[in-house]
Structure 1
Amino acid sequence: MGNLASRELQLIRSQFAFPLRERTVTNNAASTQPPLAVFELLRDLSETYENVHRGQSDASIRTTEMFEASFDTIAAWINAPSRRTLSMHRSTTEAINAAMYSLMADFRDGDNVVTTLMEHNSNYVPWHALCREILPRFGRRVECRLARFDHETGELDLEHLASLVDARTKLVCCTGGSNFLGTKPPLDSVRAIADAGGYAQPDGRRGALLLVDAAQRFASSRVDVQAMDADFAAFSFHKLLAPFGVGVLYAKETLRESLPPFLYGGDMIAEGRVFPDRVEYNELPWKHSAGTPNILGVIASAQTLRLIVDMVGADAERAWFRTDDPLSSAAVDTAMGIVAEHAASLTQQALEELSAIDGLNVYGVPRGRERTPLVAFNVDGHSPFDIARALNAQGVESRAGCHCATLAHHDLGIDPPASCRVSFTLYNTPEDVDRVVDAVRQAVDAPERFAVAPTLEGASQAVDEIAGRVELRSSSTLLR
């Protein structure tokens, strides 16, 4: 299928505000731009603005219906068995922390967690903290082990991963798609390795649990949690055209039933079932939904998924946006197939054209192989922060920093631990790629054109950048 036709792309882009500002948005691995229709939906929801599960008014009843239906839409999108497997959080990061805190009491002295050197910090630091800071306070020794990746190809070293998993490996954590190397690990092989360890779980099953950080995979391909057989999967909607503030944790229903909540109070309590000697929890999925949730964000996120189906013409028979009808699996497959092929085509174009620039080094998966739709690179003799600033001066929005993939940057010996990254999604065009490549060439060939006059503030910032403590995001124009 490759790139969407020019006319189709123009129709898609007409539904966003950023082209009006002549912005070239290629920082999509961090966050994507929401369609105008989603902002209009949020405005219209103000007419019946009310809390959920906390009122008998027509407004509360209607808002509750839309909120609960959103869980069904999200479950259908990732092929989860039902809404009972889902909990909503503020981000992928919080979702992974929710899994960590729910599992914390189940770890036994001598257990271990296995993750990888290619992880986003959010799928390493919580497990590092669990093993090095939290559990030691309770007198429990739990080890965090890190699997290697191939420095040339970015591929996960499955043999090394398997060597780290043993009968005391309670949990294996793995990215579904690297936001730096572009790697999409073979999750079926990771699942088999996790099972082979033979850990005796509290419910009697044998094998390690598998947690997948699906943030980048969710943004660029169809995620099927049953096919990947993940025990946990976390992702965020702002990676796929929705507004900020909603992340999801999928967990198998048996885990939802047996594990304690991450947070306590409010909606996770069964109505009227609080006593001096006991508290009874709500039914799933609300058992894992403490307090007042991000109601409008959840509704808008679910409706954004439906809008994507409509935007790409995945179902010619009907429109899905602003409905609560059961979402067709075939429509989801088609929609994400279009998104994936279009983004992959742009990524391969970028890899080919950027690789022709002298001194430019691309990290991770080589050209011609499947990868997440991003390219992270450095240019010999040039700071990635200077490159990002120069791109921004030419209207191209990229990102410089470690991209929260700090372990991988250190493992590759990148000093300071930073690279420049461009990334693509549904609304990007081949012309966007051309602009990126031309802007990089200009930044490399004539860096003096984009130099910033030194100031005390700038000098202080430069010191932080060299130390690898600051990630500079290119500026963006706020909607007015």
Structure 2
Amino acid sequence: MNTFDVQRLRWHFDFARTGRVVTNNAASTQPPRELVELYRSLIPWYENVHRGQSAASRYTTELFELAYDTIAGWLNAPGRGSIVTCRNTTEAINTVMYSLLTEFRDGDNVVTTALEHNSNFVPWYAMCREILPRFGRHVEYRVARFDPVTGQLDLEHLASLVDARTKLVACTGASNFLGTRPDLAAVRRITLASGYRQPDGDHRSLLLVDGAQLVPTAAIDVRALGVDYLAFSFHKLMAPFGVGVLYGREELLNTTRPFLYGGDMVAEQGVTAEHVRYNRLPWKYAAGTPNILGVIVSAQALRLLVDLVAPEPAGYFGTGRPLGRATIERAMDRVAAHTRALTGRALDAVREIDGLKVFGPESAADRAPLISFGLSGWSPMRLAEELDRRGVESRAGCHCATLAHRALGLDPPASCRLSFAVYNTAGDVDRATGALREIAARRLSPAAG
């Protein structure tokens, strides 16, 4: 059975000694001690990358480039040339939008869904409503609906929106509000059948997946998924060092325009007054000085995660040893099984609470490790405050998933959310759901003030 000793794992996290019940992991996860110490240990030999002649620069460059290899291997990408590092998922999605901006033709459209985080809707809204119209180009955005009862993406509606003028479909891998995990294989089939004529001669729509809530608890194989772009953030993967990742097919990254210009994205001695030559991949998308130490340490978070959930010492952290596909899949299967069990335990408990409504899929197997809910008579923000008074850190608001909250007719468009990570325990779930029961009982009690 794919299990691990969660108490042993928690020893690596300083937050665990504070007594905090950390159940806002869909926003940001906690850092293990080793990553903080690794960051500090790199400082004495820190230098800029790629163009320095010092031993320190060569050393830092080696670690920096190894980080790209680690990330590519984690996603089963062909190589580092398909990896772009940036600040977060939001910047990664904006990178796609700006790199494709000049390719959109008058009359094209882009299709997204009502399940999306604002970061996978607002850039396309801005492109269609605010940017391209200034250049006399009219591109439409379309939004696919979801079933308000099950939370599942309406694939028939999505298919009806995708046509021969759909350049790109932007879809979440897992909703940060409902927890819904759309059938990405079905979405891929819809994009392949569109018939849109891409600049490279292909007749299909591109597929961008927001993997912010998917990558932390699933083994991702970008080649098996057939995605053109996938974005995620390391701050949801134990590494709060300001690093996001965009995977893009190399053919696309080679032919599209960079998002930012200057610095390392320029080829060595590649500038004349008449012509500028861009650097090879992946550095074509690395303008200026990147977050060098953040990238190095964040990539090591993947190696540390494998070590933490392995049944026996694995020894990947702090090395450049290749992470085999089977090793990655076994590790993420353990993470998925653990967080799925926590989610199921929470769902069973909260469904026994009078007046509490859970949004999204019924089964923990069909959702990311989070539950969003409302309690009759309570604003979500007040509910989160009461949970915090009982030592439980939740999250209240629209979770940047405003379209989905509005689609459910929530007024205000807000909910309260508990979300779980690899270091959470059954005790965390019981404390959180017990606090909810206590709050609900107080509301119903005649003596409640």
User: Which category describes the TM-score, using the shorter chain as reference length?
Assistant: over 0.9
- Asked if residue 121 in structure 1 is aligned to residue 118 in structure 2, the reply is yes
Name the counterpart of 1:453: none
| 3-state secondary structure, aligned to 1:446 | helix
Letter in 1 for 2:362: P
Name the counterpart of 2:225: 228
Q: How does 1:22-421 map to 2 (within 5 A)?
A: 22-313=19-310, 316=312, 318-367=314-363, 369-421=365-417
- Asked if structure 2 preserves the Cα contact closer than 8 Å seen for 1:387 and 1:444, the reply is no
Q: Partners in 2 of 1:186 and 1:448 — Cα distance?
A: 40
Q: Partners in 1 of 2:51 and 2:203 — Cα distance?
A: 41
Q: CA deviation at 1:231?
A: 0.5
- Asked if structure 1 preserves the Cα contact closer than 8 Å seen for 2:181 and 2:367, the reply is yes
Q: Partners in 1 of 2:126 and 2:314 — Cα distance?
A: 48
| 3-state secondary structure, aligned to 2:246 | strand
Number of residue pairs aligned between Structure 1 and Structure 2 = 445
Q: CA deviation at 1:244?
A: 3.5
Structure 1 unmatched ranges of 5 or more: 450-480
Per-residue Cα deviation, 1:178-234 (whole angstroms, up to 9, x for no partner): 111111111111011011110000110001000000110001111111111110100
Letter in 1 for 2:407: D
| 3-state secondary structure, aligned to 2:168 | strand
Name the counterpart of 1:461: none
Q: CA deviation at 1:445?
A: 2.4
Name the counterpart of 1:10: 7
After the TM superposition, which segments of 4 or more aligned residues of structure 1 sit over 4 Å from their partners?
A: none
- Asked if structure 2 preserves the Cα contact closer than 8 Å seen for 1:378 and 1:419, the reply is yes
Q: Partners in 2 of 1:52 and 1:105 — Cα distance?
A: 31
Q: Partners in 1 of 2:154 and 2:38 — Cα distance?
A: 45
Q: Partners in 2 of 1:111 and 1:367 — Cα distance?
A: 38
Q: Could you tell me the TM-score, scaled by structure 2's length?
A: 0.97
| 3-state secondary structure, aligned to 1:414 | coil
- Asked if structure 2 preserves the Cα contact closer than 8 Å seen for 1:12 and 1:311, the reply is yes
Identify the range of structure 1 (94-103 vs 363-372) with the bigger mean alpha-carbon deviation. 363-372
Identity of aligned residues (%): 59
Letter in 2 for 1:57: S
Structure 2 unmatched ranges of 5 or more: none
Q: Partners in 1 of 2:114 and 2:285 — Cα distance?
A: 30
Name the counterpart of 1:473: none
Q: Partners in 2 of 1:444 and 1:139 — Cα distance?
A: 55
| 3-state secondary structure, aligned to 2:322 | coil
Q: Partners in 2 of 1:369 and 1:229 — Cα distance?
A: 23
Q: Partners in 2 of 1:222 and 1:193 — Cα distance?
A: 23
Q: CA deviation at 1:317?
A: 6.8
Per-residue Cα deviation, 1:120-172 (whole angstroms, up to 9, x for no partner): 00000000000011000000110000001001111100000000000000000
Identify the range of structure 1 (322-331 vs 290-299) with the bigger mean alpha-carbon deviation. 322-331
| 3-state secondary structure, aligned to 1:319 | coil
Q: CA deviation at 1:447?
A: 5.7
| 3-state secondary structure, aligned to 1:215 | coil
- Asked if structure 2 preserves the Cα contact closer than 8 Å seen for 1:390 and 1:447, the reply is no
Per-residue Cα deviation, 1:230-277 (whole angstroms, up to 9, x for no partner): 101000011111124100011001001100100000000110110010
